[in-house]
Amino acid sequence: MTAAIRIRGLHKSYGTHRAVDGLDLDVASGEVFALLGPNGAGKTTTVEILEGFRDRDTGEVVVLGTDPHHAPRAWRDRIGIVLQSSGGLDLLTPREALRSTARCYRGPRDVDEVIAVTGLAEKADSRIAGLSGGQRRRLDVALGIVGRPELLFLDEPTTGFDPQARRDFWGLIRDLAGDGTTILLTTHYLDEAEHLADRVGVIAGGRLLALDTPAALGGRQSQEATVSWEEDGVRRSVRTAEPTAEVARVAARFPGEVPELTVTRPSLEDTYLSLIAPHERTATTEVPA
């Protein structure tokens, strides 16, 4: 598949701190890719380089066929960005902000449609200064998608969303991906990555630790399962590489259903935590103050 993003040997340091340390990564056109990692891992620096907002020290970076460092105005028309937060719009309404932003693009989405899909209809004509944190976050997302981007950068997009709003947003992302939009997502919600991403990459210390589908990351599919059940008033568990056979053995001891039977494998969160554990750092930011 054609790569929407290609990174080879990317390095970026701040003084003696290596924020990105030899990163190689490809994101295919039309893919939803989740970049995961703890604070200080190098995610934000990497994404800012891809967006053209930060210079790299060395390495090759190509985004939609262009080096972001030398990208022309037409390239900007093809990408959308949802930052962790935005400001300076308090005196406008969401409708006014979206209409103004839409004028910057050659083929924007209908503003009323964007307002509807991001759940802003009731607040479309209210001053942004009066919006709640979750409503402001929805506006950030709306501003990111109004230009109908080929490539969308989402930095912690559902922070402040209630559970239903998060589910609605996931539906929007799946619709965008279905239309061919490439999406690069950073999130601390592992369930969000599992629901949305075609592939996930785990980064720590500026290096890529693992890259795979959410189901297979870190060998999840081949790890032992835990079979648990209730027997004689006691909760029993067995770890096994053959859970089907173990369930059959347990079932043979019962005349009917096995009480409280469960079969589980390590979750994406379990796998993620095991991957980053050796690389945890005390820094809480990628750029020294």
- The model carries a pTM of 0.83
- Does residue 287 lie in a domain region? no
* Per-residue pLDDT at 189 exceeds 50: yes
One domain, residues 200 and 210: yes
- Domain total in the chain: 3
Q: How confident is the model at residue 1 (pLDDT cuts 50, 70, 90)?
A: low
Find the domain containing 65 and state its range: 1-78+149-222
Spatial separation of the C-alpha atoms in residues 257 and 75, rounded to whole Å: 60
One domain, residues 73 and 163: yes
One domain, residues 70 and 124: no
One domain, residues 255 and 129: no
One domain, residues 236 and 211: no
Mean pLDDT (whole number) for 62-84: 92
More confident residue, 35 or 223: 35
One domain, residues 24 and 132: no
* Positive or negative: CA dihedral 47, 53, 59, 61: positive
* Per-residue pLDDT at 79 exceeds 80: yes
Bridge partners of 183? 32, 152
One domain, residues 4 and 69: yes
Q: How confident is the model at residue 220 (pLDDT cuts 50, 70, 90)?
A: confident
Q: Which amino acid is at 99?
A: R
- Does residue 272 lie in a domain region? no
Both structure tokens of 185: 């997502």
Q: What CA–CA distances, in Å, run from 279 to 15, 20, 193, 216, 287?
A: 20, 14, 21, 21, 18
